Structure 1
Amino acid sequence: MEIQKLNWAGIKLISNGKTILIDAAEDFSYYKPVLGEAVDEVIKFTDKVEADYILFTHMHLDHFDKSVIKKCLKKEGKLIVYSGLESVVRKIMGDVEMVVLNLNEVFTENNIIFKPVFAMDGVGEIQTSWIVEDLHSKIFHGGDTIWHNQFWKLGKENENIDYAFLPANGVVVNFEMIGLEYSPVPASLNLKEAFVAAHLLHAKKLVPIHYGLFTHEKFYIPQLFDQEDLQKTSKEIGQNYLILKDGETLMDS
């Protein structure tokens, strides 16, 4: 499996000649008033990618970018959708072929296995995590899940995860403008929680995602970390990790 880190929480997988996008986003302009300006260059990939399958964890526009679906999904490609999100996705992308899955339901095609599993959204909306597996590699993608009590169960039920892509910015959000009272409790995993979650998933390596690109002094305040924090937390938890920069590719066989 070839794995490429895209912007923010997005990744691209190539397996058995098929291209898979998860939480792939290129246009963050709608959320600019909340997320602020991107602090690094947003990589452009939609002109070069033709996807056979597109998955997303939830409907926040920094994870669900309909322009990516329109530009990248092949005519015969499939949008793989968690059943809890089916109705809203059909209103937006009704003309796209969809494979709709319940939690823990498996879809297999081209020797690739897709499975949505439990996640918990930081502001109470519907979210899932995804497990994607081929004959050589198995990845877990956690969107921007918060800490929850199912990581133990997920680790027992889904063995041999190679890479756990988990959010790590522990962001505190102020979304009073859309009617949510302010809370200082993080709305995604922080660095230590990401390491512990990967450990409970028995993942060979944690790959942090959903960090570093956005910050807003009033509305979107992430917890920052550096290489020293990564090494210290890895040693404390006993969990290996891998940092992939946006655009960087990992060949896993």
Structure 2
Amino acid sequence: MTNDDHTLHVRRLAWAGVEIRIGATRLLIDPLEHAAPLEPVMGVPKRPLPAVDTPSGTHVLITHLHPDHYDHELLAGLADDATVGCHAPIAPQVRAAGLNAIPQELGEPRSIGLLTVTPVTSLDWRGNDCDQVAWVVEGAGRRIIHCGDTQWHGSWWQIARDHGPFDVAFVPVNGVIARFEGYTADVPVTMTPEQAVEAAVALGATTVCAMHYGLFHNPPTYVEQDDIEQRFRRAAGQRGITAAIVADGQPVL
């Protein structure tokens, strides 16, 4: 083994996608390549989505079944040796879609090569209508958390006690106002930039990486916050935490 076999490499992909590599192990969280199913609600993306490589040996975690986090067309093309990790309640739907679903309960760790992955609490804006988790990933002495597209919730401190602190917290920042499927409240259904920073502070993260923003805007059904990056940087500076604004495909660790 070379020294690189013991190094954790983390890249931000498009939207909420993250790639994690260590040695021969490659893990994707919420990868997104196909935007057409999203267009009726979220609109046409502002830029093309880059292709996502899924060579043999690639494994995937999904936070929930919203099509901007669960790209079935992409996952259907995975190699036969791939797995799709998910929270146990949605595993039957993932299996019914023809994928190799590996169910995990909250707090249940699983090894994927040199990585350990554990689902933890997250809160979807539609509650029980859409089960959601965040994922803790550990390897080579580093620890990250991917928070899906969660709202603010009160479990940050318990997650930090059980699994923290974190080198990087990937957090949704677009604070979107959503008006579809009968939901019309003028309340953000994902975290705002300021809430995302506060979540990372509560989690004990050294760096907070913004995700889930800047690609879709489709008034009146899907309306992002204004000045997201500036507000995110300002909030992080006020809290003494490193803000990572990272382009698609670029490294975070």
| TM-score when normalising by structure 1 | 0.91
Q: Is contact 1:21–1:51 with CA below 8 Å preserved after alignment?
A: no
RMSD of aligned C-alpha atoms? Answer: 1.5
Tell me the equivalent position of 1:114: 117
SS at match of 1:196: helix
Q: What secondary structure sits across from 1:204 in the alignment?
A: strand
The alpha-carbon deviation at position 26 of structure 1 amounts to: 0.5
Offset of 1:59 from its aligned partner?
0.2
Identity within the alignment, %? 27
Tell me if the contact between 2:25 and 2:112 (Cα under 8 Å) persists in the aligned partners.
no
Show structure 1 runs of 4+ deviating over 4 A: 48-51
Inter-partner Cα distance in structure 2 for 1:127 and 1:225: 27
The answer as to 2:173 corresponding to 1:168 is: yes
- What secondary structure sits across from 1:155 in the alignment? helix
Deviation at 1:51, TM superposition (A): 4.7
Specify the alignment match of 2:14 in structure 1: 7
Aligned equivalent of 1:20: 27
Deviation at 1:109, TM superposition (A): 3.4
Distance, in Å, in 2 between the alignment partners of 1:246 and 1:50 is 22
Selected match of 1:237 from 222, 236, 239 = 239
Q: Equivalent residue for 2:224?
A: 222
Q: After the TM superposition, which of the residue ranges 134-143 and 112-121 deviates more from structure 2?
A: 134-143
- 1:207 corresponds, among 185, 206, 209, to 209
With 36-45 and 208-217 compared, the bigger mean Cα shift is at 36-45
Unaligned runs of 5+ in 1: none
Letter in 1 for 2:107: N
Using the size of structure 2 for normalisation, the TM-score is: 0.91
Contact 1:19-1:50 within 8 A present in 2 as well? no
Matches within 5 A, 1:1-253: 1-46=8-53, 49-71=55-77, 73-93=78-98, 96-124=99-127, 125-175=130-180, 178=181, 180-250=182-252, 252=253
Give the total of aligned pairs.
244
